[in-house]
Structure 1
Amino acid sequence: MTATDPWHRALADILSRSHRLPPDELPAAVDAALRPLGVTATIYLVDAEQRDLRPLPGSGRLAAELLSIDTSLAGRAFTNVEVHAGQGPPPRLWVPIVNGTHRLGLLEVFPPADADLADRALRDGSRLISGIIGHLVSSKSDYGDVLHRTRRSRPMGVSAELLWQLLPPLTFATPEAAVSALLEPCYEVGGDAFDYAVHGGTLALAILDGVGHGLPAVLTTSVALAALRAARRAGSDLPGLVRAVDATIAAQWQDARFVTGILAEFDTGTGLLRYVNAGHPPPVLLRRGRAVRTLEGGRRPPLGLPHGGFEIAQLRLEPGDRLLLHTDGVTEARNAAGEMFGLPRLADLAERHIGSGLPAAETLRRLSHAVTQHEGGLHEDDATLMLVEWSADASANSEP
């Protein structure tokens, strides 16, 4: 494409409109920019439970309905982060909407009737537009409610509303590694949370589980998460992060409140993983597609409780390794007969989905739904998963 290409002009048009664009007017801005090309489009956002794609109000076709991720061609484009063509009628392209590598939804593109759906310029141009939409969906979400409302199938509880504002995007990738996380139940969460940050080739990781349920548990975890970030952004090393969370929880509450968790740092250049396990289920190491061991080192009492010191565990990963972190709500999820989901089942499903070559975010989506199905859709506890992939191929697989 050249600078005078009509798709670039459409991109420039959306950018010029974006500075003072309210969230609810995003569809109108996209429609206006695409009109000179004879193209119309519908913006779909993935819902909070990662089951359906929901049309953004005012976007494209008036009769647009929600689309199932698991049973539609559109869903296949979303799960594989690939452009797919639908012959219609009318013919269309399904183009993933991402912000970086965080899957946000799909753009349904209707080109002119005589267009070739395999045309490179059409596909590249559609990806350009979907890319800017992804950035705008992320940046404009803080300025209004329509983008949040579109992604919800029912009202969100207060504890979940608070926690989701604190969590980072579900997926992030560098050229060397990809990290993805998912939390259920998304509308009524308890004390689970996750965090990550990248700086200078080091990937900081955390998965947390506050004692109790509902809003009190979320408040405890929120304080732990804030203490962790404050210390990390002040330049603390891994032991300093642990001590900061300990001290903050102990100073805030005198009722033996605590948070279990794993705090870790991973050097994406050397493969060195350093971690502390504060009363939490051990992570699972997957190597060459197989679950080979759990990481049993670095143990100490939960964060916020008195202890006699702790040690940092170390492990050298191999290129291609994956690390699966989880809270006890995953392995201890029970069905109607009282049978737990269990670590062997989790490891087996992880092996199968990873062997299918799925992006990290899709692997977690399927694992999370397997836990929900096992429980019959009724979560007794939060179930949080985090997958870290040290692989250039896995990282590239997260990008459209």
Structure 2
Amino acid sequence: MSEAEARARRNVTDAPTDLIVARLADELRRTYGITRTELYQVDYRLAELLPLGGGEALTGPGHPAWYAFDHQEPVFADGTGWFPVGMRGERRGVLRVSPVPADPAARRELDTVATVLGHEVAAVTSTTDIYLSARRSRRLTLAAEMQWELLPGRSRIRPSFSLAGQLEPAYAVRGDSFDWSDDGHRLWLAVLNGFGEGVAAALLTSLATYALRNARRAGLALADQAALADQAVYAQHRGEQHLSVLLMELDLATGALVAVDAGSPHLIRLRASEVTSQALEKQFPLGMFEGTDYREQRFDLERGDRLFVVSDGVIDATANRVRYGESALDRFLRRTSPMEPLDAVRSLIGDLRAFVAGDLVDDAVVVCLDWLGPQDQ
């Protein structure tokens, strides 16, 4: 690491939460002669790159900033450098610098500094509203605010898997959500399809999510996680409210997948460009009845398998009395084969919006998981 890169890192990590980008800009001006430094964050719809300090959003897919975001690699155009900003597969946006140095070593250092910036912004986001507020092009509903705060992130990458998810309508989602965790050996994934409207739906999904996390962190088996969450929801609502959930646990060394389908969203497998709906044993949604016992199912994935989990809001989206799940879904899923999971999710949501000719009315959740095979972690 050069002394210049080390100073830039220190300026990012030592700066007050509200001055991270400003202090970085000062250091880049002194060290590299860069006169403009600006952070653009991707918005909740994955449709706009919004400058932290306000100003014009970048929406055109052909813009160099979007190429850097989509391909996760630096882009240089017209004396400007665009560097991806993120952490552990979670894409947060891009860093703009100009004039960009011609020295390849300096450009590599700036690429590293942009990654450090992504980690630092993620670290301070829970302590300030600056970065969250700048990520939205319109006001979130209260229910949507609750749902986005509940998420573990929007994408995750490790050597053995890649994972991404998205909620729609992004600024007004109510009851749909997802959750995940991994320990280097196993990956746990929950996709929830909430019941009800507005804040009531968000509260129900929050209760179920925290109950599932509590059971998972206690080391319970997947079926017991479902049972504990079922009891928590039933105890609160006595069967008057319930929600569907698909729980999965993936062994990252073998590809063995354990699933519990509690009236869940749909599980679809993409293998060698062939789309197959995975048959699941439909069991009662969480909270519908008292003391439900849940059963696990086991499947084996093959290296390179891709799984999509989609809610009814995707399957049942309708245009001209034609359902998306009947007419377009399988075709589009095949087209996502070469895409990274976040790009596949974003493209699917975009195709769905085009199908209904606007924003979605019902909640929709899409999660994409690639198992890449056993790897050194």
* TM norm structure 2: 0.94
Q: For residue 276 of structure 1, what is the amino acid of its counterpart?
A: V
**Residue deviations 1:187-215 (CA, integer Å, cap 9, x gap):** 11121010010024110010001211211
1:12 to 4, 10, 25: 10
**Residue deviations 1:214-272 (CA, integer Å, cap 9, x gap):** 11111111100010001111111111101111100110012431111101100010000
**Residue deviations 1:61-99 (CA, integer Å, cap 9, x gap):** xxx62111523121111111121111x2xx011111112
Q: For residue 351 of structure 1, what is the amino acid of its counterpart?
A: R
CA drift of 1:376 comes to 2.1
Distance 1:200 1:136, change over 3 A: closer
Taking the aligned partners of 1:206 and 1:229, their CA distance within structure 2 comes to: 10
2:33 to 31, 38, 48: 38
The answer as to whether partners of 2:253 and 2:375 remain within 8 angstroms in 1 is no
**Residue deviations 1:104-123 (CA, integer Å, cap 9, x gap):** 100112136xx42xx43122
Give the superposed CA RMSD.
2.1
Distance 1:47 1:108, change over 3 A: same
Q: Counterpart of 1:257 in 2: which secondary structure? A: coil
**Alignment match, 1:322:** 306
Distance 1:259 1:395, change over 3 A: farther
CA drift of 1:294 comes to 1.4
1:100 to 63, 67, 88: 88
Superposition pairs of residues 248-263 of structure 1, within 5 angstroms: 248-263=232-247
**Alignment match, 1:386:** 367
Q: Counterpart of 1:285 in 2: which secondary structure? A: strand
The answer as to whether partners of 1:160 and 1:189 remain within 8 angstroms in 2 is yes
Q: Counterpart of 1:67 in 2: which secondary structure? A: coil
CA drift of 1:373 comes to 2.0
Distance 1:392 1:317, change over 3 A: closer
- Structure 1 residue 366 corresponds to structure 2 residue 358: no
- Structure 1 residue 295 corresponds to structure 2 residue 304: no
Q: Counterpart of 1:152 in 2: which secondary structure? A: coil
The answer as to whether partners of 1:77 and 1:95 remain within 8 angstroms in 2 is yes
The answer as to whether partners of 1:177 and 1:394 remain within 8 angstroms in 2 is no
Taking the aligned partners of 1:393 and 1:157, their CA distance within structure 2 comes to: 41
Runs (5+) with no aligned partner, structure 1: 59-63
Superposition pairs of residues 1-400 of structure 1, within 5 angstroms: 2-4=1-3, 6-15=4-13, 17-18=14-15, 21-23=16-18, 25-36=19-30, 37-39=32-34, 40-57=36-53, 65-86=56-77, 88=78, 91-111=79-99, 115-116=101-102, 119-291=103-275, 293-306=276-289, 309-335=293-319, 337-343=320-326, 345-354=328-337, 357-391=338-372
The answer as to whether partners of 1:298 and 1:310 remain within 8 angstroms in 2 is no
Runs (5+) with no aligned partner, structure 2: none
The answer as to whether partners of 1:173 and 1:395 remain within 8 angstroms in 2 is no
Segments ≥4 residues shifted beyond 4 Å = 392-396
The answer as to whether partners of 2:239 and 2:287 remain within 8 angstroms in 1 is no
Q: Counterpart of 1:235 in 2: which secondary structure? A: coil
Q: For residue 365 of structure 2, what is the amino acid of its counterpart?
A: T
Distance 1:304 1:151, change over 3 A: same
Higher mean C-alpha deviation, range 326-335 or range 387-396: 387-396
Distance 1:146 1:69, change over 3 A: farther
**Residue deviations 1:268-313 (CA, integer Å, cap 9, x gap):** 100000101111233001112321x212123211111227633211
Q: Counterpart of 1:98 in 2: which secondary structure? A: strand
Q: Counterpart of 2:65 in 1: which secondary structure? A: helix
Q: For residue 331 of structure 2, what is the amino acid of its counterpart?
A: D
Distance 1:126 1:85, change over 3 A: same
Distance 1:392 1:98, change over 3 A: farther
CA drift of 1:9 comes to 2.3
Aligned length: 374
Distance 1:393 1:7, change over 3 A: farther
**Residue deviations 1:345-391 (CA, integer Å, cap 9, x gap):** 2222121122xx22211111111111122222232211100011011
Higher mean C-alpha deviation, range 369-378 or range 184-193: 369-378
Q: Counterpart of 1:299 in 2: which secondary structure? A: coil
Taking the aligned partners of 1:192 and 1:229, their CA distance within structure 2 comes to: 16
Q: Percent identity?
A: 30
Q: Counterpart of 2:6 in 1: which secondary structure? A: helix
The answer as to whether partners of 1:80 and 1:358 remain within 8 angstroms in 2 is no
Taking the aligned partners of 1:261 and 1:171, their CA distance within structure 2 comes to: 20
The answer as to whether partners of 2:264 and 2:285 remain within 8 angstroms in 1 is yes
Taking the aligned partners of 2:340 and 2:184, their CA distance within structure 1 comes to: 24
CA drift of 1:144 comes to 2.0
